[in-house]
Amino acid sequence: MQIKEAPYSKLCSSKNILTVNGQFPGPVLYANRGDTLNVNVQNGGSQNITIHWHGARQLRYPWSDGPAFITQCPIRPGTSFNQKLKLSNEEGTLWWHAHSDWSRATVHGVLIIRPANGTDYPFPKPAAEIPIILGEWWKSDVQEIVNEFVASGGDPNNSDAFLINGQPGDLYPCSRNDTFNLTVEKGKTYLLRMVNAVMNNLMFFSIANHELTVVGTDAAYVKPFKTNYITISPGQTIDVLLEANQNPDHYYMAARAYNSLNGVNFGNTTTTSIIQYRGNYTPSSPVLPSLPNSNDTNASFNFTSKFRSLADQKHPVNVPLNVTTNLLLTFSINTLPCEDESCSGAYGDRFAASVNNISFVLPNIDILEAYYKNIIGVYGDEFPSFPSLNFNFTGDSLPVKLLHPNRKTEVHVLEYKTNVEIVLQGTSLLGGIDHPIHLHGYSFYVVGSGFGNFDKDKDPLKYNLVDPPFQNTIAVVKNGWAAIRFRADNPGVWFMHCHLERHVSWGMGMTFIVKNGMGAGEKLLPPPPDMPKC
């Protein structure tokens, strides 16, 4: 992978963007289940960079996981890093992206993991597999956008367009020729491998006159179900089957943002691409598919709630039943005092975000190196298992004193092979919003979810412990909760954070350290010799 600047023109203007190999989106990588890939990342750009293999468990090998100052120092301009991508039971669609500042806006691509040789998909083999990446475009330089919003303490400027496979579609100015076209043949079925690479929005997606069949998410298969639309979170992947069963013509596929918080300015535009049937005919003007309203929380939650693991002989479910570690983590938007006279956040303060009222501060050297080499003073190990204040998390009027978090670099330590349940609880501080939470180094079973405050006595009675979905990213609904379970059998340092980029920039993240086990195959592997230096 060669990180380099490349010129791109969209929406009537041109600029240079950071790319991999000059491509935007970046190249599609292909692998088979269980493969190990060696990727040489050469930084020919002008800024520090890291690459994260989103959803790859990287068993015992967090050295190539990628989040800056968590598992590595960034790759400096003019240097390189040989990253080893260790796949295990992942099968389906994942993706890779930069994990330093906001460079993932243009540095990202799809990772397709096909079944191991000699095995098949759990559905009829499709006629073709087509990556569909939802992205976005700013006319301005993305780093300037970041610098401005960090300095102001407010919200970042919205992008100027959403994209499908790097193209805005013909509803935007100067974009009639910048539309992705997918040619299909009537009677055939196509596998769309979808990724939401958008920075700050969950997205609704649909195809005019066509029903979709969902068959997988986050490199794990699900019981197939039909739907007229999908909701996909930033960081999430979804595999859908498209049956080309309509009259030969042109049909729009379209995506637009879902935004659950009234009064928040967001990019309320629609990106389109065209499905065109092969054949001799005069195409009619395509019509837009029916998408849920941009504030339809129920549409988003109801779709996400339909996922069920296949749970068959070839795809067994191993939900931890005997939980030994229970955590309750609250995710909040907060404020911090403005060091100037006035900032652009709420109440003239600076926006912040937190987990259990701790706004995460990145250290100066990465936590993994500090842990491995026993370097003291880089992080604390007292991240709380429960919020320090127990309040009505989703109440209508919350005390202002709850707005100010503590800024710390704390980790939570897990013993090897503990069975962990985490309740991810949203709060209504500053109105509340959905939070797509991503855990590095693990996929987890989503055993329950709901609106309001989690009830530790009633809600576990409704858990799905039979066929819950196996995911690495889960959208916690606005002012609601989700319960996840996993076995801490992957030693190392692993980041968990909201995948809305502005939220993680504000501090909505935390880090787990999973300790070594006793056996030879239960310990953190040593680092490679070319780890980037801070």
**Given a cut of 90, is residue 261 above it in pLDDT?**
no
What would the mean pLDDT of 36-44 be, rounded to a whole number?
A: 98
- pLDDT-derived band of residue 398, with 50, 70 and 90 as boundaries? confident
Contact 232, 202 (CB under 8 A): yes
pLDDT above 90 coverage of the chain, percent? 94
Q: What is the pLDDT of residue 340?
A: 79
pLDDT, one tens digit per residue, over 300-354 is 999 999 999 999 999 999 999 999 999 999 999 999 999 877 899 999 999 999 9
Q: What is the pLDDT of residue 44?
A: 98
Report CA torsion sign: 460, 463, 468, 469: negative
**CB within 8 A of 523, min separation 6: which ones?**
60, 491, 516, 517
pLDDT above 70 coverage of the chain, percent? 100
In the chain, count H helices and then E strands. Answer: 4, 32
- pLDDT-derived band of residue 267, with 50, 70 and 90 as boundaries? confident
Same fold, 1-119 and 123-313: yes
If you compute the radius of gyration of the chain from its CA atoms, what whole number of angstroms results? 22
Q: What is the pLDDT of residue 178?
A: 85
User: 325-522: what CATH class?
Assistant: mainly beta
**Given a cut of 90, is residue 476 above it in pLDDT?**
yes
pLDDT, one tens digit per residue, over 198-212 is 999 999 999 999 999
Question: CATH topology for 1-119?
Answer: Immunoglobulin-like (2.60.40)
What would the mean pLDDT of 246-257 be, rounded to a whole number?
A: 98
Quickly count: other Cβ atoms within 10 Å of residue 400's Cβ: 10
Query: Hey, which bits of 260-324 come out as E strands?
Result: 270-277
Transcribe 310-367 into DSSP letters. --SSSS------S--EEEEEEEEEEEE--SSS--SSGGGSEEEEEETTEEE---SS-H
**Given a cut of 90, is residue 265 above it in pLDDT?**
no
Q: What is the pLDDT of residue 397?
A: 80
User: 123-313: what CATH class?
Assistant: mainly beta
pLDDT, one tens digit per residue, over 136-157 is 999 999 999 999 999 999 999 9
What would the mean pLDDT of 248-275 be, rounded to a whole number?
A: 92
- pLDDT-derived band of residue 454, with 50, 70 and 90 as boundaries? very high
Report CA torsion sign: 90, 92, 98, 104: negative
Tokens at 527, concatenated: 């680092």
Does the global pTM surpass 0.85? yes
Q: What is the pLDDT of residue 342?
A: 84
**Given a cut of 90, is residue 400 above it in pLDDT?**
no
**Given a cut of 80, is residue 263 above it in pLDDT?**
no
Mean pLDDT for the chain overall: 96
pLDDT, one tens digit per residue, over 404-453 is 999 999 999 999 999 999 999 999 999 899 999 999 999 999 999 999 99
**Given a cut of 90, is residue 518 above it in pLDDT?**
yes
The C-alpha atoms of residue 221 and residue 383 are separated, in whole angstroms, by 34
Q: In 3D, which of 123, 135, 271 has the Cα closest to residue 206?
A: 271
Q: What is the pLDDT of residue 390?
A: 87
Tokens at 287, concatenated: 């019509």
The C-alpha atoms of residue 256 and residue 253 are separated, in whole angstroms, by 11
**Given a cut of 90, is residue 399 above it in pLDDT?**
no
**Given a cut of 90, is residue 402 above it in pLDDT?**
no
pLDDT, one tens digit per residue, over 374-387 is 999 999 999 999 99
Domain spans in the chain, listed from the N-terminal domain onward: 1-119, 123-313, 325-522
**Distance set, CA 512 to CA 235, 413, 527 (Å):** 19, 6, 18
Q: In 3D, which of 165, 226, 150 has the Cα closest to residue 23?
A: 165
